[in-house]
Amino acid sequence: MKPSEVNSVSEQLTQLAEVHYVAETTGVYDIFIWIAVASPSELAAFLRSTVGSITGVIRSETFLNLEIKKNANGPGSWAAMDAS
């Protein structure tokens, strides 16, 4: 995205129920978010319909947590709590 769009996009992402963490970053990625959805199909719908419809978003990259080894109340701590 254009640097001038980063703040607008990150603010829009903070308003989404699935989003639990939003950070504007340096480097390859402009924004990093953590989300919680119940299934791969919900993830696909969220990425295509929700994130994909935000003006300024050109592409996204997805990382899946296969196993959380330690999480001291950091991003994604809701997932560790749901598993217990």
The rounded distance, in Å, linking the Cα atoms of 46 and 24 is: 20
Percentage helix, strand, coil, to 5, in the chain? 40, 15, 50
The rounded distance, in Å, linking the Cα atoms of 40 and 23 is: 23
State the pTM of this model.
0.79
**Residue pLDDT, tens place only, 47-74:** 999 999 999 999 999 998 888 888 776 6
Tokens of 31: 């924004």
Residue-level pLDDT at 41: 96
Amino acid identity of residue 59, one-letter, is R
Topology of domain 3-83 in CATH is Alpha-Beta Plaits (3.30.70)
The rounded distance, in Å, linking the Cα atoms of 22 and 3 is: 16
Residue-level pLDDT at 81: 53
Residue-level pLDDT at 70: 80
Residue-level pLDDT at 14: 96
**Residue pLDDT, tens place only, 4-50:** 999 999 999 999 999 999 999 999 999 999 998 999 999 999 999 99
